[in-house]
């Protein structure tokens, strides 16, 4: 018989999760949660998954879109970063709720709800999103290696395939060790940009005004393209699958009170972590606007170009070095979450288990090939354009993850007493509608020349 508050057997085609088939079964319920003590101990016990998810919100793909947006349009697109981050906070909270309540990650939920043709289509869409994300990581990490050590882009792209061994080493040390590694690199990124903002000294009034939405974002085609790229880089499809899985690494009580407590602390964890991501994304755009746009350099869209111009324009030699160090930390960090997301998606949709190193090499290989080809033919400029395009592709995949997620958490037969309240459901569907509408407009403008 189910425990009180358990809804794992309701409303699904397949009602029970098989033993050993839990999401990320090797670390499932492996992190101890104290049953008593202060709220600080509870918060620390649940802290971690939110920061791992936040990695995807400040990966190299964000750098390309934020730099392009800041240099071309000043502080105007700060409002897009803020709105997309608020969307992310809501969607990640719903993702955590789904995993905690049902004991399924989003991929498993799709498998257990949809017919075979539908779930195969959803799986393909998600794999495309992961490849697009991986593409951004390859380019970003390769550029960072070139900037710091002079390694050619093509060789740097190939070197990124070795990150699979880093992940395996970290996972073998335990999930908490993996989380600590991720948080350490996030701290390095934040510190680097704190220093750069202090150097740039942007006008506070203009920065604050940038957080107010402007109608020209929708009417200016070039601005809209970058804005949708920012949304694609910020609200990442694979993060919804990832978060619904890794929240289950906590050994909370699988009854109604235990689930409610887990939802509360998981939401606090992800909200705090994503506010850090908001700061980093805003900082990248602010630096680009304050350094490049303010000095008449409105066409800076390449990470390498930004690196070369930072120190001369700011007057601090260390500025470019900090920029490259943060980029490398961002690229390395992103590989961890993308690898876990790939494992979760493949196991969840297909119940297919292959070694992590093999899964990573496959997706990384699919990302390396276009980078090598584009770099060989078009040079550095081609990789910059490919980086922005990858983020637009990510945005196009968002509805295929967002719509199933919202439909599950609003379904009482699946969520029981944990179904989200009607006002939250309305807000969630509004977010989905905005994402879909922006994508339709972008497609229309792209193919019909509007």
The CATH number that applies at residue 420 is: 1.20.1740.10
Within 10 angstroms of residue 357's Cβ, the number of other Cβ atoms is 13
- The reply to whether 22 falls in a domain is no
- Residue 58's H or E segment, with its range, is none
Q: Lowest-confidence range among 37-46, 97-106, 316-325, 433-442?
A: 433-442
pLDDT band at residue 347 under the 50/70/90 scheme? confident
Within 10 angstroms of residue 17's Cβ, the number of other Cβ atoms is 18
pLDDT for residue 395 is more than 80: no
- The reply to whether 3 falls in a domain is no
pLDDT band at residue 406 under the 50/70/90 scheme? very high
- The reply to whether 8 falls in a domain is no
Give the pLDDT of residue 380. 64
Residue with tokens 């790939």: 342
Give the pLDDT of residue 218. 84
Give the span between the Cα atoms of 348 and 231, in whole angstroms.
26
More confident residue, 247 or 168: 247
pLDDT for residue 8 is more than 60: no
Within 13 A of 135's CA, how many CA atoms are on the CB side? 30
What whole-number percentage of the chain has pLDDT above 90?
43
What whole-number percentage of the chain has pLDDT above 70?
88
- The reply to whether 253 falls in a domain is yes
Give the span between the Cα atoms of 60 and 284, in whole angstroms.
11
- Per the CB < 8 A criterion, the answer to whether 383 and 375 are in contact is yes
What Rg, from alpha-carbon coordinates, does the chain have?
Answer: 21
pLDDT band at residue 233 under the 50/70/90 scheme? low
The mean pLDDT of 242-254, rounded to a whole number, is 94
- The reply to whether 21 falls in a domain is no
321 forms beta bridges with none
Give the span between the Cα atoms of 205 and 74, in whole angstroms.
13
pLDDT for residue 193 is more than 80: yes
Give the span between the Cα atoms of 227 and 364, in whole angstroms.
27
Residue with tokens 């606090």: 268
Taking all residues of the chain, what is their mean pLDDT, rounded to a whole number?
85
Give the pLDDT of residue 63. 80
- The reply to whether 7 falls in a domain is no
**pTM of this structure:** 0.88
Q: Lowest-confidence range among 119-123, 200-204, 288-292, 446-450?
A: 446-450
| Residues 6 or more apart whose Cβ sits within 8 Å of residue 11 | 113, 411, 413, 414
Count up the domains in the chain and report the number: 1
pLDDT band at residue 25 under the 50/70/90 scheme? confident
Q: Which of 371, 367, 390 is nearest to 382 (CA)?
A: 371
The mean pLDDT of 391-404, rounded to a whole number, is 80
pLDDT band at residue 441 under the 50/70/90 scheme? confident
More confident residue, 390 or 201: 201
The mean pLDDT of 105-131, rounded to a whole number, is 89
pLDDT for residue 5 is more than 60: no
pLDDT band at residue 368 under the 50/70/90 scheme? confident
- Residue 160's H or E segment, with its range, is none
The mean pLDDT of 199-211, rounded to a whole number, is 93
The mean pLDDT of 264-289, rounded to a whole number, is 93
Give the span between the Cα atoms of 81 and 164, in whole angstroms.
31
- The reply to whether 390 falls in a domain is yes
Cα torsion angle, 424, 244, 268, 136, sign: negative
Q: Lowest-confidence range among 45-59, 176-190, 216-230?
A: 216-230
pLDDT for residue 143 is more than 60: yes
More confident residue, 281 or 139: 281
> Reduced to 3 DSSP states, what percent helix, strand and coil does the chain have, rounded to the nearest 5?
80, 0, 20
Residue 249 is part of which domain span?
Answer: 39-448
Burial class (CB in 10 A: 0-12, 13-18, 19+), 211: middle
Give the pLDDT of residue 83. 92
- The reply to whether 23 falls in a domain is no
> What does the chain come to in residues?
450
pLDDT band at residue 20 under the 50/70/90 scheme? low
């Amino acid at each position: 018989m189910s425990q009180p508050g358990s809804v794992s057997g309701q409303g699904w085609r397949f009602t029970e999760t098989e033993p050993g088939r839990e999401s990320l079964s090797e670390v499932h319920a492996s992190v101890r949660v104290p049953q008593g003590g202060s709220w600080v101990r509870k918060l620390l016990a649940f802290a971690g998954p939110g920061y791992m998810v936040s990695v995807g919100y400040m990966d190299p793909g964000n750098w390309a879109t934020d730099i392009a947006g800041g240099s071309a349009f000043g502080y105007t697109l700060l409002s897009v970063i803020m709105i997309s981050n608020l969307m992310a906070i809501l969607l990640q909270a719903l993702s955590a709720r789904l995993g905690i309540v049902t004991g399924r990650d989003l991929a498993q939920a799709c498998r257990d709800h949809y017919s075979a043709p539908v779930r195969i289509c959803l799986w393909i869409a998600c794999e495309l999103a992961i490849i697009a994300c991986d593409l951004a990581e390859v380019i970003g990490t390769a550029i960072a290696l070139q900037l710091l050590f002079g390694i050619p882009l093509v060789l740097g792209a190939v070197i990124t395939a070795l990150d699979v061994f880093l992940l395996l080493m970290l996972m073998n040390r335990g999930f908490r060790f993996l989380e600590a590694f991720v948080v350490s690199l996030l701290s390095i990124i934040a510190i680097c940009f704190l220093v750069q903002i202090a150097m740039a000294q942007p006008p506070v009034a203009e920065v604050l005004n940038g957080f107010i939405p402007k109608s020209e974002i929708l009417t200016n085609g070039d601005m809209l393209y970058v804005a949708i790229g920012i949304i694609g880089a910020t609200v990442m499809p694979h993060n919804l699958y990832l978060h619904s899985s890794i929240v289950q690494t906590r050994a909370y009580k699988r009854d109604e009170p235990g689930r409610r407590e887990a939802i509360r602390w998981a939401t606090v964890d992800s909200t705090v972590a994503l506010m850090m991501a908001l700061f980093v994304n805003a900082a990248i755009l602010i630096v680009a606007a304050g350094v490049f746009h303010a000095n008449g350099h409105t066409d800076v869209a390449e990470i390498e170009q930004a690196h070369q111009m930072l120190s001369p324009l700011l007057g601090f030699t260390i500025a470019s070095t900090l920029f490259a160090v943060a980029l490398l930390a961002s690229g390395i960090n992103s590989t961890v979450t993308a690898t876990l997301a790939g494992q979760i998606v493949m196991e969840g949709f297909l119940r297919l288990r292959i070694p992590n190193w093999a899964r990573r090499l496959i997706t990384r290989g699919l990302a390396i090939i276009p980078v090598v080809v584009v770099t060989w033919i078009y040079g550095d400029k081609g990789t910059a354009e490919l980086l922005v395009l990858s983020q637009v592709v990510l945005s196009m995949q968002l509805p295929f993850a967002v719509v199933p997620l919202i439909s599950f958490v609003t379904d009482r037969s699946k969520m029981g007493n944990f179904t989200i309240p009607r006002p939250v459901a309305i807000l969630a569907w509004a977010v989905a509608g905005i994402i879909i509408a922006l994508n339709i407009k972008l497609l229309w403008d792209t193919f019909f020349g509007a």
